[in-house]
Amino acid sequence: MSKEVQRLLEKADHALEVAESLIKQGFASDASSKIYYAMFYAAQALLRSEDIEVGKHSAVEASLGFHFAKTGKMDPKYHRMLINARKIREIVDYDIQDEVVEPVQTLKLEDGKEFVAAMKIIITGK
């Protein structure tokens, strides 16, 4: 595993730790952004492990779908999880009209943990 891939996975793990702390402090909406970024970093790590370099959020989503979900290298549910997490993050970060309630974010933390773990398994083959 390259240093870049390892660093992205470390960033994903750190983002999940911060998200969990935010939820415990009662900041579920803020945690959703960190959960999304954990997933984003893990997706980037997977793509980079295959020498696929993309940086934009939409390009990471599209590449993950094209190279992994559609080819059967990854369960398509993970692609959908990333897309859904991005939508929630955008609502929380940019749309002051919509509030995301805490129970949804607690579930998303579990989704984030599952997503990051799945990307690690695909990267390492373990």
- CATH assignment at residue 99: 1.20.120.330
The predicted structure's pLDDT at residue 108 = 83
Distance of CA 107 to the CA centre of its chain: 13
The predicted structure's pLDDT at residue 33 = 92
Helix/strand/coil (H, E, C) string of the chain? CCHHHHHHHHHHHHHHHHHHHHHHCCCHHHHHHHHHHHHHHHHHHHHHHCCCCCCCHHHHHHHHHHHHHCCCCCCHHHHHHHHHHHHHHHHHHHCCCCCCCHHHHHHHHHHHHHHHHHHHHHHHCC
Q: Which long-range contacts (C-beta less than 8 Å, at least 24 apart) are formed by 57-61?
A: 57/86, 61/86
The predicted structure's pLDDT at residue 38 = 98
Domain count, the chain: 1
User: Average pLDDT of each block of 10 consecutive residues along the chain (126 residues)?
Assistant: 97 97 91 95 98 94 97 96 90 69 64 97 93
Residue 60 lies in domain? 3-124
